[in-house]
Amino acid sequence: MPNLASKVATTLGDLVSEKMTDMSNQNTSEETLGTNTGPVTVVITHKTKRGCEKEFKAWLKGINQEASHYQGYMGVQVIEPHSTSDRDYIIIVRFDSYEHLKGWNASDIRKYYLEELHNLTDDESKYEYQSGLDYWFSLPKMPGQMLPPKHKMAFVIWLTLTPLILLIPPITEPLLSELGLPKPIPVLLTCAILVALMTYALMPLMTRMLKKWLFHH
């Protein structure tokens, strides 16, 4: 009878293989996401007008609060300019599906906020839509970049995932077993922990650490 670590490795291996197959469309427009059933990420770049930084931050806080009330909202990350000469704000918004993202995009409250945006920014805002594992290999400071070659992405996923599979299940297995949960539940919960660690902590870190090798082309 395979142990929990073996089951987790098999489950995540199938997940990664399936997602790698879906990555043929590297930089995605909104129109091509209609058949996507997984989480969707929008990378938005706004260039603020000089002297409007305070008003823009208030605008940004307001629209992010409104978005958080919509179904499927998973979170937002804001990357502020790193110097006074840089006026680009990068906002990374994530929804659990394209359908839920489309509901937010079509909302009246979003249209209201976008009408106000013209008074606070220069140039046209840039939108980039990503799905699947693309999000793991995106550098917010480089919007619109090409993704790394697939063999490099597969290697980094393996390099990051292997220690997790070896370390996390032996910790979670005895803890979850004590709760008397049915056999599939501990595996699913452990997979959820590993995916969360990969998505929100380790893959962004690994992408930044290996960016020169990953994006050499």
Higher pLDDT, 2 or 48: 48
What is this structure's pTM? 0.53
Domain count along the chain: 2
* Same domain flag for 119 and 196: no
75, 110, 137: which is the final residue of a domain?
A: 137
* Same domain flag for 77 and 114: yes
Q: What is the DSSP string of the chain?
A: ---HHHHHHHHHHHHHHHHHHTTSS-SB-GGGGTT--S-EEEEEEEEEPTT-HHHHHHHHHHHHHHHTTSTTEEEEEEE--SSTT--EEEEEEEESSHHHHHHHHT-HHHHHHHHHHTTTEEEEEEEEEEEGGGGGG--TTSTTPPPPPHHHHHHHHHHHHHHHHHHHHHHHHHHHHTTT--THHHHHHHHHHHHHHIIIIIHHHHHHHTHHHHT--
- What tens digit of pLDDT does each residue of 74-127 get? 888 888 887 777 788 988 888 988 899 999 999 999 999 999 998 999 888 888
- Give the structural domain span for 84: 30-137
Please report whether residue 142 resides in a domain: no
Mean pLDDT value across residues 142-159: 73
- What tens digit of pLDDT does each residue of 58-68 get? 999 999 999 99
* Same domain flag for 16 and 55: no
* Same domain flag for 120 and 185: no
